[in-house]
Amino acid sequence: MPDGAQAVLDVRGLETVFCTRGAEIHAVNKVSFHLKPGELLGVVGESGSGKSVTMMSLIGLLPSPPAEVRSGEVLLGGKDILKLSPTELRHVRGARVGFVFQDPMTSLNPVFTVGDQIMEPLRSHMRMSKAEARRRAAELLTLVGIPDADKRLKNYPHQFSGGMRQRVMIAMALACDPEVLIADEPTTALDVTIQAQIIELVKELRQKLGMAIVWITHDLGVVAGIADRVMVMYGGQVVEQAPVKELFGNPRHPYTRALLKAVPALSGERAGRLQVIEGQPPMLGSAPTSCPFRSRCTHAFDRCGKENPARRALDDKPLDHGHDVACHWNPEPADA
Amino acid sequence: MRDATGSAEPPLVRVRDLKMFFPVHTGVLRRHTGDVKAVDGVSFDIMEGETLGLVGESGCGKSTVGRALLRLCEITGGSVTIGGVDVATLSPAELRKARPLMQMVFQDPQASLNPRMTVAAIIGEPLDEHTTLSRDEKLARIYELMDAVGLNRRFASHYPHEFSGGQRQRIGIARALALNPKFIVCDEPIAALDVSIQAQVVNLLEDLQDRLGLTYLFISHDLSMVRHIADRVAVMYLGQIAELSPREALYAEPLHPYAKALLSAVPEPDPDREATRKRIILKGDVPSPANPPKGCNFCTRCPEAQERCHSTAPRLSEVAPGRFVACHRVTESAGATGATMANEHNQMGENE
């Protein structure tokens, strides 16, 4: 994909805060990223790193209060969707941005048939007649690899297995041909062999439909196999962003490096002892004034405690297009 | 079954033809109409000081094996011997006496710790039940255990909700260690933890094993973590062991078609390898253990299935030194040695 291509989704300086009794949680701090047409962006981070909250605040899925999007712009096809009215936003959610959630059991309604649930966005956003919507729903089920689609439309979610339910979720998200598909840990609740099926399916659908995808995961292995670009999040911030090969081949942020070493390999040399990241993830009680990874970082020095590092490009490409990192530390040539 | 190392010592844990069925009752009269065969004829040994990894997908019966070994549920058939004691036939009073020998670390540290008990009370509870230590002696032991698992003594009077997931798992491990057990079943101890915390807990388990000579059954669905911690690995599918091999051999060259598919499905954090790897994508889902397929239980999804796989069930037999596989095709190509071992297994009455 040429660098000059217009981004379908462009997020700038997004900041989300949860206000609870007497306390604030700064879950997302100045997150910026963009998504080009047909691109798959992997978002990696541990629980509490802000990856899901970022994606949910984009399209107004967080209940407010307690959540509050303090600042930032979310440009979808050039238009800021944070400024839209609730009705307009609802149209964006169903028709232009599809969302696949982690747990396919709790995100499907158990008292409606799968057919009803897939037809719902088609009827409300595309104004299809019942018969049309049913035909399209059957098409979608076939597309995501569920055999015998006409019959299966009449089934309830509990009649599907976990992997099949996730396929139904994907079919629902794809119903109105969205420009952007956001998949929030879509395979975490599934077994590895089923995960492999879903990953193959998404790869195939990408080729067929050409939409842009944001894939949130904590599994570095999944990202390595499917992503074009990877964004690593920690403590509500983007700490590193790079094309997939560059990130795995030349990780620069101490957190990314530690994360890659903490996972034992499936092949090759077996490590004698796993490298651990000591300590705990940060509490996000206030807007960060220092590097969030400081207390767990082996390379931390005084500047890390005084100043929250801004993202800086490591190559001559503009920020967010090449390899960038939010870290004060410069590895010695021997370490790099 | 012979152990992989070839030593003459008897194994610490010996499991033969373990069966665990859960009855299904239907109709107005709640008649017994069938069984969910969660574990159906599983046999293995664990040597002292060894870690046996037990892997498989959800619903394959791996957790049930762990629970049955400690007799947390009444087993349907087969025998379980731990340190020379036949756990399966002990009376409740005898079983209680045997409990200190074997302990368990549970998956969800949130659910397995009583929220109304302090850390000291949780770790000390096994001591209350099984020892006659005085208050001071107990407290000294609790502190010792907290040190051993890397928990600060200052937190002894705190409650579980005040700790993070990794720390809670340490509390669970300290409780399991309280009575100096020989054998610990670790049932997905790291599944609920973040990647950076998983490594901390796994390193702790390894350190404790070195120091105290513990024997582990490490149940997990994380194949790369099992490769790291286990000496031998058993792959389970639908209530039966598909392959039981030494770690290096299994990961270098899995023999059973299911083990092959499972290993090929695990994504690796290396884009270059991911781009070139050949993945075996299994079709469909795991059949219900209430109604397993006829013949080999993997025949409905096996890419290499032949006619006889649909009619006769293969037996777990040794196809190479220390490598046990339940597959017609593998035993056939392994030739004569496989056949003799298969016979031995017949005599042990497996699968029937």
pLDDT digits (tens, 9 = 90+) for B158-185: 999 988 888 999 999 999 999 999 999 9
Q: Where are the beta strands (DSSP E) in chain B?
A: 13-26, 31-46, 51-55, 77-82, 85-86, 102-105, 183-187, 215-220, 232-237, 240-246, 317-320, 323-325
The answer to whether B295 and B308 have CB atoms below 8 angstroms apart is: yes
Within an 8 Å CB–CB cutoff, is residue B303 touching chain A? no
- ipTM given for this complex: 0.81
pLDDT of B335 reads 64
Report the chain B residue with the minimal C-alpha distance to residue A257: B196
B203–A199: do the CB atoms touch at under 8 Å? no
User: Can you tell me the distance from the alpha carbon of A84 to that of A79, in angstroms, rounded to the nearest whole number?
Assistant: 9
Considering only CB atoms, which chain B residues are within 8 Å of A197? Answer: 281-282
In B, which residues are within 8 Å of A191 by CB distance?
Answer: 57-58, 221
Q: Which of A49, A222, A274 to mutate to test the interface with B (most CBs of B within 10 A)?
A: A274
What pLDDT score was predicted for residue B345? 45
Q: Which residues of chain A have pLDDT under 50?
A: 1-2, 336
Find the mean pLDDT for residues B1-24: 77
The C-alpha atoms of residue B65 and residue B219 are separated, in whole angstroms, by 9
DSSP B9-74: SPPSEEEEEEEEEEEEEETTTTEEEEEEEEEEEEEEEE-TT-EEEEE--TTSSHHHHHHHHTTSS-
Q: Can you list the positions of beta strands (E) in A179-304?
A: 180-184, 212-217, 229-234, 237-243
d(CA A291, CA A305): 6
Residue numbers in A near B208 (CB within 8 A)? none
Substitution target in A263, A283, A295 with the highest count of B β-carbons within 10 Å is A263
- Nearest chain B alpha carbon to A47: B194
- In this predicted structure, what is the pLDDT of residue B350? 40
Instruction: Return residues 19-58 of B near A (CB < 8 Å).
Output: 57-58
Which of B195, B250, B273, B281 best probes binding to A when mutated, by most A CB atoms within 10 angstroms? B195
Nearest-CA distance from B61 to chain A in Å?
A: 14
How does strand B51-55 pair with strand B215-220?
Answer: parallel
- Which residue's entry shows tokens 């050409």? A210
**Cβ(B242)–Cβ(B296) below 8 Å:** no
Q: Does A269 touch chain B (CB under 8 A)?
A: no
Kindly state whether A225 is in contact with chain B, defined as any CB-CB distance less than 8 angstroms: yes
B334 against B322, higher pLDDT:
B322
Q: Are B188 and B226 in contact (CB under 8 A)?
A: no
Average pLDDT of span B95-121: 91
Beta-bridged to residue B244, according to DSSP, are B234, B324
Tens of pLDDT, residue by residue over B118-164, are 999 999 999 998 999 999 999 999 999 999 998 999 999 999 998 88
Which amino acid is residue B301, in one-letter code?
R
Q: From the CA of B167, how many Å to the nearest CA of chain A?
A: 10
pLDDT in the model for residue A61: 85
- CB-CB: which of B166, B224, B265 is closest to A265? B224
Interior/surface letters B59-83, b for 16+ CB within 10 angstroms, e for the rest = bbbbbbbbbbbbbeeebbebebbbb
Buried b (16+ CB within 10 A) or exposed e, A239-256: bbbbbbebbbeebbbbbb
Instruction: Tell me which chain A residue has its CA closest to the CA of residue B206.
Output: A273
Please write the tens of the pLDDT for every residue from B20-36.
999 988 888 888 888 88
**Residue of A158, A223, A226, A266 for testing the chain B interface, max B β-carbons within 10 Å:** A266
Mean pLDDT computed over B49-58: 92
Name chain A contacts of B196, Cβ cutoff 8 Å: 46, 258-259, 262, 276-277, 281
Cβ–Cβ of B282/A161 closer than 8 Å?
no
CB contact under 8 A, B223 and A200: no
- How many CB pairs below 8 A link A and B? 117
Mean pLDDT of chain B: 87
Cis peptide before A66 (omega within 30 of 0): yes
A170-199 residues touching B, CB cutoff 8 A? 191-197, 199
- Indicate the residue type of B38: A
* 8 Å CB contact of A218 and B58: no
**Distance from B287 to chain A by nearest Cα, in Å?**
10
pLDDT band, very low/low/confident/very high, at B279 (cuts 50, 70, 90): confident
Rounded to two decimals, the pTM is: 0.85
Structure confidence at residue B349 (pLDDT): 40
pLDDT of residue A21: 81
- Is B269 an 8 Å CB contact of chain A? yes
Which chain A residues contact residue B281 at CB under 8 A? 193, 196-197, 200
* pLDDT at residue number B275: 84
List pLDDT tens digits, range B211-256: 999 999 999 988 999 999 999 999 999 999 999 999 999 999 999 9
Q: b/e per residue, B188-225, with b = 16+ CB within 10 A?
A: bbbebbbbbbbbbbbbbbbebbeeeebbbbbbbbbbbb
User: pLDDT tens for residues B153-164?
Assistant: 999 999 999 888
What's the confidence (pLDDT) of residue B344?
A: 44
Residues B268, A262: C-beta atoms closer than 8 Å:
no
